Amino acid sequence: MTLMQEAKCGRVAPEIESAARREGLEPEKLARLVAAGRVVIPRNIRRERPGAMATGIGEMLTTKVNVNVGTSQSLDSPENEVEKARAAVAAGADAVMDLSTGGDLDLVRCQILRAVSVPVGTVPLYNAAVAKDLSSQGFFNALEKHAKDGVDFVTVHVGVNKNSLERLANDPRIMGVVSRGGSLTMKYISETGEDNPYYKEYDYLLAIAREYDLAGELVKRAREAGVQAMVEGPGHVPADEIETSVKAMKHLTDGAPLYLLGPLVTDIAPGYDHITAAMGGVIAGMAGADFLCATTPSEHLDLPTKDDVIEGTYVTRIAAHAADLTRPGVRDRARAWDLQMAKARADLDWQGQFQSAINPDRARQIRHRRGVETDTCTMCSELCAIRLAKEAMEKGVGQKR
Ligand code: SF4
């Protein structure tokens, strides 16, 4: 049985127990959310992750962060991508996606699967494209290969089909389709005249997903088949349209966990797209998005370096946490973290501040970079507002005489 089928039978699988413990939630409650498709816990029965905690994505759980890594046809070092995956996890990524399109894709994927203990996702279609096998069989061979290798979740562009392309042609967008998988699917449709194989033979796709207990971006039929499903949403949305867009997607998919890249709130900031995406990520998270894909400073410009990946991971984690401060079910825990930092600041307790920081090393490095060691900091020095206020309070200011 798949995890979802077990949950539907009222059983609490070890993954549900583990994810519930991580979130401080009752396992039975989490099992009900998994059974209803409101939460997914990516796993592949072929992949062993000894000692690793399960990752739940969806309602009543903290907003999770995925980080993309992967080779390109210009830069195809498996070692670099494995190193980036490890760096992302060390920076707190909840999941990693291998989007490799260059070199030996099977090798990179298997190395990443071994290198990290978080759920690993892929886009199997890239394999078919690189193998120059954009045929119906090629689509499914790639999916099955990834499933056999132990991939925990996959992106399948089921929504890109003849019908949606017809609507796109009638109502064109400036950049058409910007998703790599989407454009490859378009290529298949235009060259063969056939519909998207993942859409046309969706039951076969579900059978593969069920066999390996993969999570995919499918909803009603996936749930009926006992396959966990997430939905991936748009990556470029003006700030004032994000809430409506998230709520509409949640409504249409009956609360399926929603996965977003960004969304980026403006297009004019190449080099800073991790920031424009984080702005959108906060708004989306507040509106109900569950899974944010990290964007790096090199988005739209270059294959990210390891430092880009680390920066993107932290910035996206900040967005996820900012959303969690308002998120039902996790708000109190999220606020407790901020409170811990506020108390350390009020005490000018620098070690406490480092410990509470999302990236302690960065905070410590900036604090000490000029070598000036005082109990305040070089911002206000002797005029430290915190110290002056504390001294005034200790002298009894504000107390009734
Ligand atoms: S010196 Fe200024 S910035 Fe630094 S801790 Fe004190 S109040 Fe804050």
252, pLDDT greater than 90: no
Asked whether residue 100 is assigned to any structural domain, the reply reads yes
224 plus 140 within the same structural domain: yes
Looking from the CA of residue 345, the nearest atom of ligand 1 is: 5
pLDDT > 70: what percent of the chain?
A: 99
Looking from the CA of residue 385, the nearest atom of ligand 1 is: 7
Asked whether residue 37 is assigned to any structural domain, the reply reads no
Question: Residue 349: CB within 6 Å of ligand 1?
Answer: no
Band of residue 177 on the pLDDT scale cut at 50, 70, 90? confident
Asked whether residue 21 is assigned to any structural domain, the reply reads no
197 plus 175 within the same structural domain: yes
Band of residue 123 on the pLDDT scale cut at 50, 70, 90? very high
DSSP state of 66: E
Question: Residue 384: CB within 6 Å of ligand 1?
Answer: yes
Question: Residue 386: CB within 6 Å of ligand 1?
Answer: yes
311 plus 358 within the same structural domain: no
Cα 328 to the chain's mean position, in Å? 19
pLDDT digits (tens, 9 = 90+) for 268-315: 999 999 999 999 999 999 999 999 999 999 999 999 999 999 999 999
C-alpha of residue 382 to centroid of ligand 1, in Å? 9
Whether residue 156 contacts residue 216, with contact meaning beta carbons closer than 8 Å, is answered with yes
C-alpha of residue 390 to centroid of ligand 1, in Å? 12
C-alpha of residue 90 to centroid of ligand 1, in Å? 30
360, pLDDT greater than 80: yes
Question: Residue 388: CB within 6 Å of ligand 1?
Answer: no
Asked whether residue 152 is assigned to any structural domain, the reply reads yes
Asked whether residue 45 is assigned to any structural domain, the reply reads no
Q: Mean pLDDT throughout 249-264?
A: 93
Gyration radius (Cα) of the chain, Å? 23
pLDDT > 90: what percent of the chain?
A: 83
Counting the structural domains of the chain, the total is 2
294 plus 341 within the same structural domain: no
C-alpha of residue 372 to centroid of ligand 1, in Å? 14
Neighbour count for residue 9 (Cβ, 10 Å) = 10
Last residue of a domain, one of 308, 329, 350: 329
Question: Residue 367: CB within 6 Å of ligand 1?
Answer: no
On the question of a cis peptide bond just before residue 263, with omega within 30 degrees of 0, the verdict is yes
Read off the pTM.
0.92
86 plus 163 within the same structural domain: yes
Question: In angstroms, rounded to a whole number, what is the distance separating the alpha carbons of residues 316 and 318?
Answer: 5
Question: Residue 379: CB within 6 Å of ligand 1?
Answer: yes
Q: Kindly state the greatest CA–CA separation across the chain.
A: 88
Band of residue 180 on the pLDDT scale cut at 50, 70, 90? confident
State residue 171's pLDDT score.
81
Q: Mean pLDDT throughout 127-156?
A: 95
Question: In angstroms, rounded to a whole number, what is the distance separating the alpha carbons of residues 48 and 36?
Answer: 26
Question: Residue 376: CB within 6 Å of ligand 1?
Answer: yes
Looking from the CA of residue 386, the nearest atom of ligand 1 is: 7
State residue 167's pLDDT score.
83
Last residue of a domain, one of 275, 301, 329: 329
Please indicate whether residue 162 or residue 214 has the higher confidence score (pLDDT): 162
DSSP state of 160: -
DSSP state of 4: H
pLDDT digits (tens, 9 = 90+) for 376-398: 999 999 999 999 999 998 888 87
Which structural domain, as residue segments, surrounds residue 218? 61-329
301 plus 160 within the same structural domain: yes
Last residue of a domain, one of 329, 350, 377: 329
pLDDT digits (tens, 9 = 90+) for 28-77: 999 999 999 999 999 999 998 888 889 999 999 999 999 999 999 999 99
Asked whether residue 343 is assigned to any structural domain, the reply reads yes
Asked whether residue 35 is assigned to any structural domain, the reply reads no
Which amino acid would we find at residue 30?
Answer: L
State residue 217's pLDDT score.
59
204 plus 141 within the same structural domain: yes
Q: For atom 4 of ligand 1, which residue has the closest CA? A: 377
340 plus 268 within the same structural domain: no
CATH number at residue 157: 3.20.20.540
297 plus 177 within the same structural domain: yes
Asked whether residue 358 is assigned to any structural domain, the reply reads yes
401, pLDDT greater than 70: no
Tokens of 271: 């080099």
Whether residue 362 contacts residue 315, with contact meaning beta carbons closer than 8 Å, is answered with no
Band of residue 173 on the pLDDT scale cut at 50, 70, 90? confident
264 plus 344 within the same structural domain: no
Question: In angstroms, rounded to a whole number, what is the distance separating the alpha carbons of residues 11 and 27?
Answer: 10
302 plus 287 within the same structural domain: yes
List, as one string, the DSSP characters of 104-152: -HHHHHHHHHHH--S-EEE-THHHHHHTT--SHHHHHHHHHHHHHHT-S
276 plus 350 within the same structural domain: no
